[in-house]
Structure 1
């Protein structure tokens, strides 16, 4: 799931809305231009797409990809999804999520609670990322915003902070990156910009470039 795919599908969605509104719901897919989408607990649906609206997926539901431009995506407990993607909005998942693709935002935070499995990468530009006891098969890639790879989480594909382009960071604080107790990050941790990096003494990471890890042994890192 990529931004190119999102742009293409939403452009097609807008075009269809002008000529054939009845064609927007077929084969279990739910598509809108203006309005939120809700999938109730234990229900099944196909792809979920909206332009101006949020998406809410209930407990134990099963859906394919969920995409919006202006809105948040909220996922309940024990839910199975495809990829989750929004431009202006956050993604928040309850316990025991299974996402069969990645999670992506541009301006919004991402949080996955205990027992989560993400079988793609996690990406954001301006937003924090928080994981608790979650397995990520891909990498984590971001530019601005804090990152917590929380207790018992495992990121297979490494971490990359990309250097901001065309942004004035004079009055911005450096992102705070925390690798928590018993967390594990395989692959390299690459920082192309300044960050505050805290790594718990029980955590394991790959090689770190561009930052110096500050060890801590308490449940949470020190606050400056």
Structure 2
């Protein structure tokens, strides 16, 4: 089981948290749960509601859409941030390709500690753009049938990423404008800032239970 310091250090190495202040990372680390999935176990189900953000500590996972293999991810990779931010169902399924340990931040922790961070939002947008380039430039098999089968998936993913990035950019600008207004009110003479920093996620989605991991003690 990871110590608190090891959890903070892991967060520092994760791309979407690379510019997040240490005190915020410590707050996030306090909310993380360490979970274990056996080889072949489903971590995220396609078309299911997002339950949290996952960070791979050890092991590897496969991302699949239907029967189509998309990519394999290893330690330091994150799962679920796109579905959480877009408030949409998961686009693909994720399976443990070997025994895998992850850290999980549940929805409430994600929305209160992560979703209002502008630097995280921008990192997620950048990460999604890189993932799209990887999908578009990946070598297509020589068989014509495989090419035909691949194109609908590519178009679907392209459209979804564009829509999600647009939403994230709009939400980022809204957070930035509102937080700047609150800071201005706080600094204004004779005025007290009685509000809290605003988040565009005022309602949390309902939970759905999928494959249950083993929580580590």
**TM-score interval, smaller chain:** under 0.3
Taking structure 1 as the reference length, what is the TM-score of the superposition? 0.25
Q: Which protein is richer in helix relative to its size?
A: 2
Task: Choose between structure 1 and 2: higher strand proportion.
Answer: 1
Which structure ranks higher in relative contact order (CA pairs < 8 Å, sequence separation ≥ 6)? 2
